[in-house]
Amino acid sequence: MAQQTEVQWTGKTGGGNFGQRFVLGCLKSVKVTVLYPVLPLVVPVYCVVNHKAFGCIYRYFKEIHHYSGWKSFWKTIQNHLIFGQVVLDRFAVLAGNTEQFQLDIENEEVIRQLLDQPGGFIIAGSHIGHFELTGHCIRQSKKRINAVIYGGEAAVIKQRRSNSFTQNNIRLVPVEEDLSHLFIIKDALEHGEIVTILCDRIWGSNKTLTVNFLGKEAKFPLGTFLLAAQMQVPVVSIVNTKVRGRHYHSTVQLLPSPDPSLPIRKQSEQIAAAYAKSLESVLRKHPEQWFNYFDFWDGV
């Protein structure tokens, strides 16, 4: 069993400005599935070059899902192939070619009911499937969405994101090292807006919660869950898993409210535990769509 790495996955999209512009140009008018056949040629090279990430996912299948060595190996290859498709899908969306995607939403009424209420709420995303598809496919004008994003992306990705999301009533909130984004998030919730944030990676702060996740302990970032408990706002988990081709399924789960009689820290732990269970329910069905390429669990 490997020790947990101290260097976390950066989340930065590879390829550089030129490569990213080229792919965006290709996907502006053609269906993304045209490029899928290239992936079996590219992915094996990627697996060799990024062998540490390959090893992390292999251990995820071997130690967390208890697959055999061979099954873990092939599931790791499958994971990388699906991830490649999701990355291409993401570029297609950023290129503005969104109509080709189909998104079936399970429990959509949860979102609609929260939109009709005056208060703000948090949408907790994850690195499972294609979370960004939510902002492009769920169109609404009742509440502004504040999308918390990683601030280290290439300029072309930042610009495309900005152009695309602005049209959908979405404001981008980059994660900053000085944690100034937390003040923007708090202000947005106080004004009855929506905050979307990926809650399964630690960005900029070492404050964490240890939660049982798929049978082993793992660290989740404290910030979002602490804020939700302090402000007593609803938290919704949304995961968009790839079904096949350009078809996705969105799982929407309203997390149970914590016990208000408990200290805020304990309430935060309850929300985080509920979030972890919501991810578990998806990963039991789609284990190959886990895209956190670092040693996520303690001691695995």
- The chain-wide mean pLDDT, for the chain, equals 86
pLDDT of res. 2: 35
Residue 278: both structure tokens together = 């919501």
Quickly state the pLDDT bin for 234 (edges 50, 70, 90): very high
Question: Percentage of the chain with pLDDT > 90?
Answer: 64
What digits encode the pLDDT tens for the residues 158-208?
666 666 666 667 888 888 777 778 889 999 999 999 999 999 988 666 789
CA distances to 60, 75, 131, 185, 283 from 134, in Å: 26, 26, 6, 19, 18
* pTM for the structure as a whole: 0.89
CA end-to-end span of the chain = 5
Question: What type of residue sits at position 225?
Answer: F
Say whether pLDDT at 274 is over 80.
yes
Quickly state the pLDDT bin for 9 (edges 50, 70, 90): very low
More confident residue, 66 or 14: 66
What is the residue extent of each domain of the chain?
16-94, 102-287
Q: Mean pLDDT over residues 25-46, rounded?
A: 89
